[in-house]
Structure formats: structure tokens, C-alpha cells
Amino acid sequence: MADAGKDQTPEGLTHLDERGKARMVDVSGKPVTVREARARARVVMKPSTLKLIVSGEVEKGDVLAVARVAGIMAAKRAGELIPMCHPIAVTSVEADFQVDEADSSITVLVTVKTRDRTGVEMEALTGAAVAALTIYDMCKAVDRSMTVTDLQLLMKTGGRSGTYVRGGDDDPR
């Protein structure tokens, strides 16, 4: 297996070589392990827009059902969208939504799993971002002031770096 330090610049950036040129990291020597990641994004909107979504009255259709499918599809395609992201065998994608009427927002939660040589953080983040953008797209006719915000990794498990869980109020559990 490759030495962990060999694949990093002095600054610890694995996608740059020693001369600062972009590169795709060689993961062929890494062991296959079970890996999981969860990410979220939030869409803030007018209360009237949230009411349309919840009641199923958006003209384009079932916003959350379409956003769920979009998030799943996006997670599976992250390796095609992000230049240095490895294409991996995604084994599971879940996309869920938390409606917050008090804040007039929807939080998108995407969890991705694999059994591979590299993690699924980018897949989870891509899924959450695209699901949130789909909510915006389906509702922009009634609310162009929506904001997609707070895209972040909540947790990841597996691999050499171990487990990461965002702390504080952002804890995903």
C-alpha cells in the first residue's frame, strides 16, 4: 500500500502534486472498505412557497419526490461531475427532507454508502446540492428569492482517516 505521506503535498492537499499541479489520487493500493457519508443542504423560502410544497400544489408536480430522485441520481454521477472525484460503486443512496415551518425552510439530507477504495463524501454533498437545486427549480416560478445554503458534510465513516462527525448543533444524530 502507498505511504500516506507520499500522496500529499507539504500542505496536505492530495489532489495537487509536489509542483502544485492538479492530479487524480491513485487509490489502487488502498484497501476496499465499507464507507458512508451524510451531507445536508437547506433551502429557505417564503412561507407561501413552503405551503405549496407541503400541500402538493406546486404546478410542476411533487417537489420532494422529484428532488429525492434528483439527489439520488446526482450522488451516483459525482465522479462524472467533479474532475478529481473517482467514479465508485455506490451501493446505497437515501435522500430525506426535514420541513421547518417556523424557519420556512427544507433541509435536504443525503446518505451514501459504498464498499470501495475511496470515500463517498463528494457523492453525498453532490446529492444534497442537486436535491436542493431541484427544489429551487421546481418552485422558482412562485419564489425567485429562495436561498440554497448550508451545504456541508455531516459525517463520514470508513477508510484510513476514520470517522468524522460534525460537532455542536450540526451533529447529524
Q: Is residue 21 part of a domain?
A: no
Q: Is residue 171 part of a domain?
A: no
Q: Is residue 166 part of a domain?
A: no
- Domain of 116 in residue numbering reads as 33-158
Q: How many domains does the chain have?
A: 1
Give the cell for residue 13: 492537499
Q: Is residue 1 part of a domain?
A: no
What pLDDT does residue 2 have? 40
What pLDDT does residue 59 have? 95
What pLDDT does residue 107 have? 98
* CATH number (domain holding residue 59): 3.30.70.640
Q: Is residue 163 part of a domain?
A: no
What distance in Å separates the CA atoms of residue 7 and residue 99, rounded to the nearest whole number? 42
Q: Which residues of 112-124 are buried (b: 16+ CB within 10 A; e: fewer)?
A: bbbebbbbbbbbb
Which residues share a beta bridge with 43? Answer: 106, 148
Contact between 42 and 110 under an 8 Å Cβ cutoff? The reply is: no
Which positions ≥6 away from 139 have C-beta within 8 Å? 45, 49, 52, 53, 58, 60, 63, 146
Q: What residue has cell string 404546478?
A: 59
What pLDDT does residue 90 have? 97
What pLDDT does residue 21 have? 82
What pLDDT does residue 87 have? 94
Q: Is residue 135 part of a domain?
A: yes
The tens place of each residue's pLDDT in the chain, 173 residues long, gives: 344 444 544 456 677 777 778 888 889 889 999 999 999 999 999 999 999 999 999 999 999 999 999 999 999 999 999 999 999 999 999 999 999 999 999 999 999 999 999 999 999 999 999 999 999 999 999 999 999 999 999 999 998 889 999 986 555 44
Q: Calculate the CA dihedral of residues 18, 20, 22, 26 and round it to 10 degrees.
A: 10
Catalytic residues: 137
What distance in Å separates the CA atoms of residue 150 and residue 65, rounded to the nearest whole number? 21
Q: Is residue 23 part of a domain?
A: no
Contact between 44 and 131 under an 8 Å Cβ cutoff? The reply is: no
Give residue 9's Cα distance to chain centre.
26
Q: If you count them, how many residues does the chain have? A: 173
Q: Is residue 11 part of a domain?
A: no
What pLDDT does residue 127 have? 98
What pLDDT does residue 168 have? 60
